[in-house]
A and B are shown apart, each in its own frame.
Chain A
């Protein structure tokens, strides 16, 4: 088979064994390789941490009613447009336990666990939102 000169050159180098791989790395190569490895390893926790939430924010008509830390279980009642809405907090998660709204969408949503997750009780004008260690964009506000 006739290969182009360049590819033939590639394959002939491979066929003839060549040099030991480790002799091809210079000191700076090792240094850069180590730096790159460290940077890649660091990028995982840095960029994939966003999931966990540490605070729940309850708003009525966009104004913050109360901010709750997600570190101990508790239940909080806030007053919405239709009456009291019950928020339940557990370590790392939160939910709307009861709401006087007719369709109960925010209650049926269940536990919120991720940062920037939102449950909206529209008839009551109440929103429950989780927030993470660093604020990032969510699909509602961005």
Chain B
């Protein structure tokens, strides 16, 4: 397991170095095979979050994950109660306003916060379609939302995204962000 992790890290470093993005503002390598990229969306009502990309060589297909806290945006008593709430809050609309859920969502726990996850077919310009995963978890009246999109099948995008969100650095960052850090 350790050897596999080392190999993936070494591969990620190689890709990172080769991509020539080391000088990109806010960009840094993080996690096995993932690198942080600039927040790709224009300013909206919430402060920008963090964005990450995993290349095909590591994740099987190119996958991007965007995550940010939305403080004071959750029903303080019920949390993320249903799939409609994931549709509303999970930032899918930043990528495209046209998304169709593939199935009913499921309960999920991320960074010790409970919420829901739902998979989508995301319609992009030019007839391009991506798989997308919307995640919204809450603590008190605050939300942490994440979207993953990729060219692979939804189960594969979901798997690599959840592995990434479960990594120690990302979990720690999400906890700190929800703590007012």
The answer to whether A and B assemble together is no
Listed in ascending order, the chain B residues whose CB lies under 8 Å from chain A are none
Listed in ascending order, the chain A residues whose CB lies under 8 Å from chain B are none
